[in-house]
Structure 1
């Protein structure tokens, strides 16, 4: 049995689901694009190829091996993008939450059923249908849960609006002992530089009291200020619009002092090292073309 435990983003990782890029399927058509960044690369003919993405994910698997983390991979579904394990489920404390994802991604959940079978069935829950919530929008910070959402009245017309206010309320109802704070994110169907697909596209805690943040990813300045007040301005690394586009806030912590980061994030990686972090650099620029990075492709199950 797996005894789940996740209370924040940075405690020492012991077990994780890492997505897979094997049998990723053909390049999607323009109509099939889920997000503006994939769309941009489909149109430009620069959409990533499977072999490159497999190599990138293996580099992450090697880092996990080095730190003695137990790694589960999804069972293979032919011609299916199974990279972004974070979207399909998430763990809060010792509860495994199956996300209500875009309907045609349901089989991705089936592919990790063998992992779910190792969890006490009473600890596995799924919200009702009207609740939309994805793991990339759910961020744990000890007694806080931060949730990315979109409050615009045109929510339904945005495929990039992934977590709704019903999702926020559902988490509040199920975890009454936590301080749940939602953040209204900037969405765009056409310009990836102005689209925070999930909360981890514009914010993520690192270490004990630090974070990476993109101010313009928030529709309300007060949401941004909430994090500044909580973490302290000096503890936040502010990324630029271009760095946000390259997914600089989407790194992944193995421990409070160890971060896996993309090797091209020069400015961020320098800041992390200057602040006492060990930075495990990996190539992930091809996967980034699908508007997801390291946090998006991991689903932590157990942290100390």
Structure 2
């Protein structure tokens, strides 16, 4: 039986579901693109090749195993993208929440059912269908649960708007003892440099008191200032529009002082080392072309 435990983003990791790029299918048609960054690469003929993505994910797995993390993988579905496990579910405390994701991604949840079957059924929940919430928008920070959302009246017109206010309320009701703070994110269907697909595309806490942040990912300056006040300006690494596009805020913590990062994030990686982090650099630039990176590829189950 798996005893889940997740209370923040950076405590020592013990078990995780890492996505898979094996048999990830042909290059999508333009009409099939879920986000503007994938669309950009489909149109440019630079969409990532399966073998390159498999190699990148293997490098990630190697680092996780170096730190004795139990790594689960989804069962393989032929010709199907199973890289971004963060979208399909998430753990808060000892509860596994199944996401209501885009309908044509439902098979991805079936592929990790063998893991969910190892969890106490009373600890597995699924929100009603009108409740939209994806793991990339949910971030735990001890007493806080941060949730990215989109409050625009045109929510339904955006395939890039993944978590609605009903999702925020659902988490509030499920965890009444937590401080649930939602953030209204900037969305774009056409320009990936102006699209915070999930909260972890413009913000991510690290260590005990540090965070990466992109100011223009928030529709309301007050939301950005809330985080500046909570963490302290001196503890924040401010990323640029291009660094946000490259997914600099989508790192993954194995421990309070160990972070997995993309090897090309030179400015960020230097800052992390200056602040006492061990930075495990791996190649992940091909997977980044699908508007997801290291955090997006993981579904943590147990942290100390």
Query: Structure 2 length as normaliser, TM-score?
Result: 1.00
1:224-265 deviations in whole A, cap 9, x for unaligned?
000000000000000000000000000000000000000000
1:270 match: secondary structure: helix
1:99 aligned onto 2:99: yes
2:166 match: secondary structure: helix
Tell me by how many angstroms 1:27 deviates: 0.3
Tell me by how many angstroms 1:170 deviates: 0.4
1:164-192 deviations in whole A, cap 9, x for unaligned?
00000000011000000000000000000
2:139 match: secondary structure: strand
1:248 aligned onto 2:248: yes
1:216 maps to what in 2?
A: 216
Moved over 4 A (4+): none
1:143 aligned onto 2:151: no
Query: How many residues in Structure 1 have an aligned counterpart in Structure 2?
Result: 304
1:189-223 deviations in whole A, cap 9, x for unaligned?
00000000000000000000000000000000000
1:86 match: secondary structure: helix
1:16-65 deviations in whole A, cap 9, x for unaligned?
00000000000000000000000000000000010000000000000011
After superposition, where does 1:86-235 map in structure 2 within 5 Å? 86-235=86-235
2:57 maps to what in 1?
A: 57
1:242 match: secondary structure: helix
The whole-number CA distance in structure 2 between the counterparts of 1:106 and 1:243 is 31
After superposition, where does 1:15-26 map in structure 2 within 5 Å? 15-26=15-26
Structure 1: any 5+ residue segments left out of the alignment?
none
Give the RMSD, CA atoms, in angstroms.
Answer: 0.3
The whole-number CA distance in structure 2 between the counterparts of 1:65 and 1:213 is 28
The whole-number CA distance in structure 2 between the counterparts of 1:269 and 1:181 is 28
1:145-182 deviations in whole A, cap 9, x for unaligned?
00000000000000000000000000001100000000
The whole-number CA distance in structure 2 between the counterparts of 1:88 and 1:8 is 19
2:262 maps to what in 1?
A: 262
After superposition, where does 1:34-45 map in structure 2 within 5 Å? 34-45=34-45
1:58-99 deviations in whole A, cap 9, x for unaligned?
000000110000000000000000000000000000000000
Tell me by how many angstroms 1:117 deviates: 0.7
1:80 aligned onto 2:77: no
The whole-number CA distance in structure 2 between the counterparts of 1:45 and 1:29 is 11
The whole-number CA distance in structure 2 between the counterparts of 1:164 and 1:144 is 18
The whole-number CA distance in structure 2 between the counterparts of 1:65 and 1:151 is 40
The whole-number CA distance in structure 2 between the counterparts of 1:243 and 1:5 is 31
2:182 match: secondary structure: strand
